[in-house]
Amino acid sequence: MPVSAPAGEVPGRDRLGPAGIRAGKRALVGCSALLVDGKVISGTRAARGWIGGRIITPATDRAPPTPPRPGIESIAELRRRVQEPVAHRNDLTGRLYGSRLSIFITRFFLRRGWHANVASFFVLFNGLVGSALLVFPGWPPVIGFFLLETYYILDCVDGELARYHRIGHVKAAYYDYLAHLLVKPAMFLCLGIGLARDPAVAAPWPVFVAIAPLLAVVLTKIATDLHRLIFAAKFIEHRDATVVASFLGRTRAAGGPPGGPAGAGARHASPLGTLRQAVLNFDLYLVGFLAAALLDVLVGVPAGIPAWLGYKMALFLFYAVALPLDFLDHVISDLWQGQLLDRLDTLQRNLEDLIDKGDIQR
């Protein structure tokens, strides 16, 4: 059983001799918890501090859990408030673990009064620092890939905090877009430098190979958002939904499906498409690179395999081929299979719905 300090006033140190001070400290250290000036502290902490003249009363053996800040909802309530309204836009990574983990960090930020701009800072910081660590051999790439994975989780937190506070700003959107355009290519560039510095390689060719996936991730990001830029530019130019529809060159019955036979999401609708999305999703293949970095450190290159072909190198070479091919498929699908027009058509439908509801005047 812990020793409890008796209620009452503790004499100041100036009225105690050395033996009395030592005895008092031993008594305080033996207490599991004390109530000092209305705050629960440990006996060891009280013994280290200056408590002469304060009123000390016995506290319970275990300090009560810190209650959440007033107004901060439970995890389930936060999910309903900041995740469910946009759940339909979640990609595979978000459905697998992004939204499952981010909500706990979001609540941590809310309890401390931190806003979305704090999360935005750590998105860029973790992404760039994590990328820089890939230049070094050994354990730094393991830490780097872990930080890059937290970059994705914090990107989810950024959006959840903005939705919670109902705050949106063009600067925040610009900063978010810029972070993606910086971190993803930086990851491949730094990884290429790190592989080139490997004593088993000791040649600059991985840096040149890194240019292919570097450009591919940037161009794919631009191609993915290009339909929004085109639509917004035309709508701002003409300020008329009918003119925009004419520009798209699509004819369909009101309320009908998008112009393409399978809609804009056809590329990832099948099981094979889902597998492709999993393999080519930046945030998911970071998990693969994290596992590869761990294997390089803990296991090393298997017998019979060239020393330069470690696990990270194998994945790096795979994505140096796969990501440019994925970008070319984006271009082919958009221009020759009509998926760009399908996505523009979906935006047109959403605009007409807003006009019908009276949210936008024609």
Question: How far is CA 162 from its chain centroid?
Answer: 14
* Dist. CA 250–CA 263, nearest whole Å: 14
> Residue 204 pLDDT more than 60?
yes
Collapsing DSSP to helix, strand or coil, 204 comes out as: coil
pLDDT of residue 228: 73
Phi, psi torsion values for 9, nearest 5 degrees:
-95, 130
Predicted confidence (pLDDT) per residue in 80-101, tens digit: 999 998 888 888 888 888 899 9
Beta-sheet strands, E only, within the chain: 8-9, 34-36, 39-41, 55-58
> Residue 183 pLDDT more than 90?
yes
- Measured from the Cβ of residue 327, the count of other Cβ atoms closer than 10 Å reads 22
pLDDT of residue 333: 79
Token code pair at residue 246:
């004419």
* Dist. CA 186–CA 188, nearest whole Å: 6
* CA nearest to 115, candidates 66, 175, 153, 172: 172
* Dist. CA 33–CA 13, nearest whole Å: 21
Give domain limits for the chain. 8-58, 75-227+234-357
| Strand ranges across the sheet with 34-36 | 8-9, 55-58, 34-36, 39-41
Q: Is 45 exposed, middle or buried (0-12, 13-18, 19+ CB in 10 A)?
A: middle
> Residue 252 pLDDT more than 80?
no
The answer to whether 143 and 295 are in contact (CB under 8 A) is no
pLDDT of residue 19: 59
pLDDT of residue 116: 86
Residue type, 77: E
Lowest mean pLDDT among 52-61, 240-249, 283-292, 332-341: 52-61
pLDDT of residue 88: 83
The 3-class secondary structure across 288-299, one letter per residue, is HHHHHHHHHHHC
Q: Say what the pTM is.
A: 0.69
- Each residue of 17-30: b (16+ CB within 10 Å) or e? eeeeeeebeebbee
Q: Which fold has domain 75-227+234-357?
A: Four Helix Bundle (Hemerythrin (Met), subunit A) (1.20.120)
* Dist. CA 85–CA 75, nearest whole Å: 15
Arithmetic mean of pLDDT, 70-81: 84
